[in-house]
Structure 1
Amino acid sequence: MIKPSQLQAEDAAFSQVVPAGDYFIKEIKRGETVRILDLEGNQAADTLFFSAADPTERYSAVDTIREQGNVYLTAGTVLMSTAGNPMLEIVADTCGRHDTLGGACASESNTVRYGLETKAMHACRNSWMLAVAEREEFGLSKRDITHNINFFMNVPVTPEGGLTFEDGISDAGKYVELEARMDVLILISNCPQLNNPCNAYNPTPIEVLVWQ
């Protein structure tokens, strides 16, 4: 569902451009709104959410899909935690649909899908691993890398129940906004994928903005 925001970028308390292939990590307080902005279009932002109070409580794709009865996320979706608690609500969305099934790229999956020569290519899981290693103050580890959301990514479900990776449905300037229902940690890998069309084979920057 397309639902524009009433918030203005110049009023944001925080903003940061995240280059393709880099990670972003930050605590978002309850009641704050975070916007993920696709600056150039067709980018994919692979995102993990954790309770800031206890990172073992984290975003659950299973509970979120069950509660809303839909495999795609958009305005009005409440992201549920593994403990059954509301974590965030998508309050604005100019893209219209986001994937919660396709998972994140990794060196291992790249090798299986695209050939041995792709093993050394950077992947989202590498970005997350670097984040948990460099930002120890957030208390995350390798075991915390689980269900993720692929904002802006287009992963249609086939009639047979399979998944396909297609061209992104986002465009330059489109965004998704989430209001935190609890204090959360957000960890984004701005996807560097070059082997499938999730970002038009051209990884580009995103911007993250936060309103208090």
Structure 2
Amino acid sequence: MSELASESSTQFLDLDVTVDAGDGWVGVIPAGGTFRIVDLHGNQAADTLFYDAADLDNRYSATDTIREQGAVYLTTGSKLLSANLDVLATITEDTCGRHDTVGGACSQESNVIRYGTHTRHQHACRQTFLRYGAEVGIGPAQLGHNINFFMNVPLTPDGGLTFADGVSAPGKYVQVRAERDIIALVSNCPQLNNPCNGWNPTPIQLQGWWSQ
């Protein structure tokens, strides 16, 4: 483990992995731990789900998070709530500015509906969620609302949404503090059919600090 100069001298880097486009990661972040997602090349969507490590059914809820805070986008200070209104994590730092939680994760089925049958074979975030989620007991029934970190999904005046070019840039990051032991499930989005990844999916970096 390497020491992070900008953090306390007693805190060490416990997690430092690069996740390629189309790949994923799953792991436990203990209560009080810090979890950071870095957009290495800019305009890359990092689809993310959070779960109470002690109860996988107590998972992140976009509906409750948006309603309770009166804000459709996530940024510094946003509390990420479960359907039980438990705070799973809090965004403590955000150099991007805002993050989507209404656009959902891409799947082969939604790709076909949105972009045509020729996209059926393309890998999608739902597959990544299921692949890595299986390692910790997360199956189709446990998949729900997700956060699309760094993704730009403007809302239209009539209540619709659009997938637009990103507002992130190389090196931008978002950081959360776990308010209880949580599981983070990440899919580094492989989407090629809209500009959420700048038409060119790229790697992200995951970092974590929780040792004292």
TM range (shorter): over 0.9
Per-residue CA distance 1:66-95 (angstroms, 9 max, x = gap): 111000000000001111111100000000
Q: State the 1:11 CA deviation.
A: 4.2
- Distance of 2:200 and 2:128 partners within structure 1: 17
- Distance of 1:13 and 1:141 partners within structure 2: 27
Pairing 1:1-212 to 2, within 5 Å after superposition: 7=7, 11-133=12-134, 135=135, 138-212=136-210
**TM-score (norm: length of structure 2):** 0.93
2:58 partner SS: coil
Q: State the 1:31 CA deviation.
A: 0.1
Alpha-carbon contact 1:21-1:190 (below 8 Å) kept: yes
Matched to 1:159, the amino acid is: P
- Distance of 1:78 and 1:185 partners within structure 2: 16
Q: State the 1:132 CA deviation.
A: 2.7
**Which structure 1 segments of 5+ residues have no match?**
1-5
Consecutive aligned runs of 4 or more in structure 1 exceeding 3 Å deviation? none
Per-residue CA distance 1:100-144 (angstroms, 9 max, x = gap): 1000100000001111000100100011111133x1xx1211111
- Distance of 1:139 and 1:103 partners within structure 2: 21
- Distance of 1:122 and 1:22 partners within structure 2: 10
Alpha-carbon contact 2:56-2:138 (below 8 Å) kept: yes
- Distance of 1:12 and 1:129 partners within structure 2: 28
Question: Number of aligned pairs?
Answer: 203
- Distance of 1:90 and 1:26 partners within structure 2: 18
- Distance of 1:99 and 1:117 partners within structure 2: 27
- Distance of 1:165 and 1:111 partners within structure 2: 16
C-alpha RMSD over aligned residues: 1.2
Alpha-carbon contact 1:132-1:142 (below 8 Å) kept: no
Partner of 2:3: none
**TM-score (norm: length of structure 1):** 0.93
Q: State the 1:7 CA deviation.
A: 3.9
Q: Larger deviation: 59-68 or 124-133?
A: 124-133
- Distance of 2:70 and 2:133 partners within structure 1: 32
Matched to 1:132, the amino acid is: G
Alpha-carbon contact 1:90-1:178 (below 8 Å) kept: yes
Alpha-carbon contact 2:133-2:185 (below 8 Å) kept: no
Matched to 2:166, the amino acid is: G
